[in-house]
Chains A and B, each alone.
Chain A
Amino acid sequence: MTDHKVKIATTSLAGCFGCHMSFLDMDEKLAILSEYIEFNRSPFTDVKHCEPSDIGLIEGGVCTAENVHVLREFRANCKILVAVGACAITGGVPAMRNYFDLRDCLEEAYLHGAGITNPQIPDDTELPLLLDKVYPVGDVVKIDYFLPGCPPPADAFLQLLLPLLDGKAPQMTGEKLHYD
């Protein structure tokens, strides 16, 4: 292991934070891991902007213009960028809106859906602009490793991180693959 702590940044774009929960699911191994890593931008730290880091973990697909900015910031600052989970890799469940026009989705949700009062499509300038479709992160930036699963099991994070902490390339073929 290296002398300084390895910096890890994480974010959830169009995701459900399930991959972050799965990361935490490595339980007592987190205590060991914490001796070797520190978190930069992450829901675990509430750091707002990604600073130069060794590893970036991206959960979720790209759904809004803000997602694009965050993803590019991660790519610019992380030596190794990992797409974590089905949504980051393929778009996943949020990408099921891709089978409809965006306007139809908004009208169904905010104008014509069941039980709606005061129907209006939100248009506050503070809201991130929705993209026409939900994209896999690999469509926007270069991704170095993919961690499939919904979510990837906690052990999959370890199999990825432990070799990286040693400065080695992870062997990603051994573990049992799952897309669900």
Chain B
Amino acid sequence: MRSYLDLIPISYKVHKKQSLMTRFCIILAVFLITAIFGMADMEIRSQNVQAKWNYGEWHAALKGMDDEQAEMISMWPEVFASTRYDTLNYRLGLDYKVEGKKAVIAGLDESALDIFPSMKIMEGGFPSAPGEVLVDDNMRKQLTLSIGDKITLKTPENTEKIYSISGITENFPLLMKRDVYGLMMNMDDFRQLSLKNAEDNYDSILYIRFLPWCNIQKTISKIQNQFQLPDDKITRNEILLATMAQSRDSTIIYFYTAAGVLAVLVSIAGSLMITGSLNSNIAQRTEFFGMLRCLGATKKQVTRFVRKEALSWCKSAVPIGLIAGTVVVWILCAALKVLSPRYFVGMPDFGISIIGIICGAVIGVLTVILAALAPARRAAKVSPLTAVSGNADSQVIIRKAANTRFFKIDTALGVHHAMGRRKNFILMSGSFAFSIILFLAFTTMVDFMNHAITPLRPYNPDISLVSENNTLSIDNELVKKLTGIPDIKRVYGRMFAYDIPAQTAKGEMTVNLISYEELQFGWAEDSLIEGSLKEAVNGNGVLTVYNQSNPIKPGEKITADFGNGVRKITVSGVLSDCPFNVEEGEGILICSEALFRSMTGEKDYTIIDLQLKKNADDGISDEIRALAGKNVQLSDMRMDNAQARGASLAFALFVYGFLAVIAMIAVFNIINSIAMSVYARMKQYGAMTAIGMDSMQLLKMIAAEAITYGVSGIISGCILGLPVNRFLYQYLVTQRWGEQWYIPLSSLGIIILIVVFAVLLAIIKPAEEIRNMSVADIISWQ
């Protein structure tokens, strides 16, 4: 041993168990901070990826800019790329057609490829010569086109324009869903086609992508001032800007505030965990440092010793915590990429969250050093006799004796162990309470998610076959034919009879009659609020959708002529919701296919929905299209669904990931803290056992201590956690969707159960360990 500092590894060997527990606690705290901050970082990155994919990587869109102004803006040093952009027939109201199918035409500059990542050229290049166009892969496949081929665009004026294909892009979800073709051309050709000149650019938009680290809001303001643009001519890509911490949108600011509060809570929780655990063996450490002082160590030497010891704990614990936190982040990112590979292609395979690692390391190391210095400061006050007598414990002021009048001695001592030392009690209960506070705080993210993201419903189709003008014209035999295709999982059709005048007990109203088959009735069961489905399934009644302005109750009769004579039908059930838009005052009646056919005299479908098997071939739409015929519109929603699924999946994964990490940390922290507290009193327990305390009494004493921490933690966690939950709920949900806060009883129940479970688990292990040791070993415990 060359220096007194060499005592540190020796001390580690002697107090191996406590050193391990101290390190474990540091690992947990660092893991909590790294995982939560890292996950938040990755969530922001995934939102960034989604925002770029869904809306494009533009930060500002300016309306009414002429070509000269657009050119000037593209020269600004802060501008990475800009493109002019305009569309023709976006709402499909005009008869622009290619090979009989409606077409949307877009005019843009080549730099659009830098701004819209979803616009990926698979083959060929951007139109450089006049009369060239880009088309999407879907159109290429349907019309068996290749680069250099000519296509003819028919205009509403019945003129024909011939274009040459310069490139093929990947498919666009919107075009697939609408079953239309898309042509993209340069601005000169676009203007020629749309008969707009360079000055007639009121509807055209200039999309701008700025350099990543510039002050975007400031730059937008400068552009606005320079070109005297009114506010309504500027649109900001708020979601993308929010993920870059550059948004000034009030909703986003609310979101930032909520995120800030959560970040502070996580940091406090991590610090409390470390401080609470280190404080539990403070008496033992005070005794040791007191002895060092008695042997002649100066205050400075003791401080140096403590700092080095703390750093030696950190040396292994902090990296393990950082690695564990990062691994959790990797697992989540991998889950995202596995579940939605196309959508999250931009996410890194092994993403490193610098912010998570820095926060975990800095908060971890600082808290450990500060918490470890407390016993050193106290040691300065210990007298030599106290230090060598092993009674440094008595320096911790106990104000009141345990209450043995109301409680049995074991319970009284357990409660007193927990509450006797105020600072220790506050730290331990505080760290338990913070588990609850954190859980309740992050629970608001679930509410936010439920409001912000519409998940795919079981009835959402991958492909819909829609009849022309919504008539009953899709051959009902098609269902059978489609069912025979191996890649198709489910086929379900609907027949519609629109705007039928009907007579109810309350008067006249207009109703739409819709047919369901078994699958759709099955999905409707979840939204049944009154009555039963049975009668409707059997064809003896109809279902209706709840309508506030004209509520219809089960049992009510409706009389109408649906096309096959006047019929009186009975409402057998009421649904809260349905997959179709319901206009105010409009009645929806849902019946079986047999009843529909008997009431209308029609037999064919208006729409047939298809759900495909997981690995269905991309070309299946062509097969379906061939079967359905030319007059049926094929709406391919697979890309749209993938986006929706990806968005809800990403958010759910992170939100539930946060909650799982918090719950896991709560359990480990409680078990570790109580174990540390028990092991710090081992000598005392040994003496008590020697005097005659039996193992059951010992268990009761430990249980009383743990339960006291648990109960006070739960009470204070609820008292502080509910206002935090309310505050965050108001910031995240109420201000945006107006829904009022409610007490989150289920979340509260879950976290309280977790705490109770952890406390019970925490009691068993140390009590069992003590039971298996001889009394002599307990007394001489190191």
A pairs with B: no
Taking Cβ atoms with an 8 Å cutoff, the residues of B that contact A are none
Taking Cβ atoms with an 8 Å cutoff, the residues of A that contact B are none
